Structure 1
Amino acid sequence: MAQLSDDCFAFGGPLMSIDDAVGIITAKVSAVTETETLPLIAADGRILAGDIAAPLPLPPFTNSAVDGYAVRASDLPAEGEATFVVTGRVPAGSAAATPVPAAHAVRIFTGAPMPGGADTVFMQEDVRVDEDGRVVLPAGLKPGANVRPAGEDMANGVVALRAGQRMRPQHVAVAAAFGLTSLAVRRRIRVAVFSTGDELASPGASRAPAQLYDSNRFMLMAMLKRLGCGVSDLGIFSDERAPLAASLREVASQHDLLLTTGGVSTGEEDHVKAAVESVGSLVLWRMAIKPGRPVAMGIISGTPFIGLPGNPVASFVTFVHVVRPTVLALAGALPEALTPKPVRAAFSYKKKAGRREYVRVSLRSAADGSFEAVKFPREGAGLLSSLIETDGLAELGEDITKVEPGQSVGFLSYAELI
């Protein structure tokens, strides 16, 4: 398990910025060290355990980028058309038996190795063939045109994939182009997710009139799985301090991270806080973020614990900005910065300075072709509808106090957040 010291989260004072909070935790956690070797396709979504240097150049040989005719540029006249006899034909997957003779052309196809001596390819749609089968080449083509040199994409020996890379289909493609069939990756980090509260019922169970179905737990588990985690669903714990504390102590030794929502504030019914403090240490981080200010972070037997706000939108936002970077750090992944894209606001909004806020917005195309962000019409961090009826979040930085229509704001698409 990833182990933390009991004082690594110690913090007191005013609201902590998101960047400071995340910087502290990601600097303190230790990444898992265990690795496993997986078939290439199974490595998608996993964290690469070591650098991969190109074992061969890409492409491995100089080849034609188009269907056409390969020639020696030195044979071309300075001006006017040139008429060459066509000698030979090189389809993809074959090689020319002999070099191209002077003032001759070789019929060649995309991906086929260049014949010896040839260094330029005319596209077939730019030439014409006369009645004698000779190819008539137009003037003006630069030497080396339509040719892909060996190593143009990647040179032999260059580090193409770095340790900590979260593998995506394009990275799998690179490994396949090197002829690799398996990759060494870090083991999945193990995250335990639970809910607490007698007011919650699991989907599929009977629900009392005063209960809600537990939605946050399933949202968090889905987000964790998209980050490549192994997830343990601990279900719903009752509002009893002693049994909850005993359960947390037991599961902490079997997981790399404990995650929950709600119940970590200072109210008399917030039993999670008391349970965590009885078996470990807990410092409530009052983060300068909206929605989502109450975020709790602590340690139980060396395993980090994160408690997110109970409202689903606040839970979603704080997962993205607190849990996501923590998970990546625990998994040994390279940092993945979230970079808002500038769009034009189509709404008015006021906020406090010193706090970063995230507004749920939809994108629409304006008359001038640019994108505008339209604010969800209702407020409230408990509105699940606001997460499925919008496209992403408008990020309003700490220095911003108001937004007016036409002002540029940063936009984070939901598709990029996990």
Structure 2
Amino acid sequence: MFDNLSDKLEATFKKLAGQATINEVNIGIAMRDIKRALLGADVNYKVTKKFVEDVREKALGEQVVKSVSPAQMIVKIVSDELTELMGGENKPLNLATNKLPAVIMVAGLQGSGKTTFCAKLAKRLKKNGKHPLLVAADVYRPAAIAQLKTMGDQVDVPVFSIDAQDALKAALDGVDEARKIGCDVVIVDTAGRLQVDEGMMAEAESLKKQLSPDEILFVVDAMIGQEAVNTAKVFNERLDFDGVVLTKLDGDARGGAALSIKHVVDKPIKFMSVGEKVDDLDLFYPDRMAQRILGMGDIVSFVEKAQETLDLEKTRTMQTRLMKNEFDLNDFFDQLQQLKKMGSIQGLVEMVPGLNKMIPKQDLDGLDFKPIEAIICSMTKAERQAPEIINGSRRMRIASGSGTKVQDVNMLLKQFKEMKKMMSSVTKMTKSGRKIMPQNLNLEKLLKR
């Protein structure tokens, strides 16, 4: 997401790159382009107008310091204003309550991703030492209860539900159940509709009154653009929720919801969902998102995600094997599995500065590890350890066993050979003392920072 907006902003900054000073004329042109870019990304018109005015005022009032170009100064100002627009800083969940269990009520329209978010949040809380219970209060749609139970099994979190179509009873009984079984957090998945209606809102208000939740989170699909902001406004007027969850941020949405919603409802964005897997849930950091929009990447989030998901023992073993030039297809397969654990490839690419420019999005859209995994799994132990023994007949057998073509097997072996050759060259240079990479590079230390 934000690809189109990022490209347009980058083009605007390039126009300023050759300017010696900031003045009314070049700032006027830049602000016109930024305004068009924001409106094109479906950002609320009033939000866009105020944003442009604030940037213009600060840009014309700035003294450009030595060694900082006008373009760099504008990038800094735009980054700061984007950060402020999206909330300034991350706002954590408020679970510091004297009563147990703490109650989180999740609301939103049907199809926004509420149920999936509940499971993702439960897994995140469990990883942080909590003992959550999922409560199915969407009692009108049988598929919703079944979905929550299925996802509860995936994240190994208990799910409470009742047979009656009584959302309030389901929620209150769920809280009682949590006390009985020793759960300290209850996540209540409420009913949604295809659009806002009085029945849904009245029920949500009743749940809020009876449950007295510690947190009310409004879940909204980022791909519905301005309608996301309008829906948030209606829910906030009735529920006065505590925070927003943006889902489907890995899609082709223009991003207007992320840039507009905080300003319109004055409530922080607390989480963003960036994929379909149960691990694809991140805290929302306005400053990091601003950096990603401006093409600066987000190395801090990348390292944090790596720290959470990578197996450091396997990484250490792989480093040793690399240095000894013993890296084989077993190691390659293991690295693919670890990479997949870190979430969507598109999201990872956006976190590394400049990488999204090197790898076109259309290439990532078609990226599929399954054929590669199938080919490697169809090899014998000896073939994975020594790919050079794979002759013509072996390639035909591997292709047949993996459901691929011989050309696919040939391509994988060729790419692996080239990759291993490159790794060998870098390793030799490192051992010889040439500073292609730091000699004291240690991934484990990096991830533990």
Query: What TM-score, normalized by structure 1, do the two folds share?
Result: 0.32
Bigger helix share: 2
Bigger strand share: 1
Larger Rg belongs to = 1
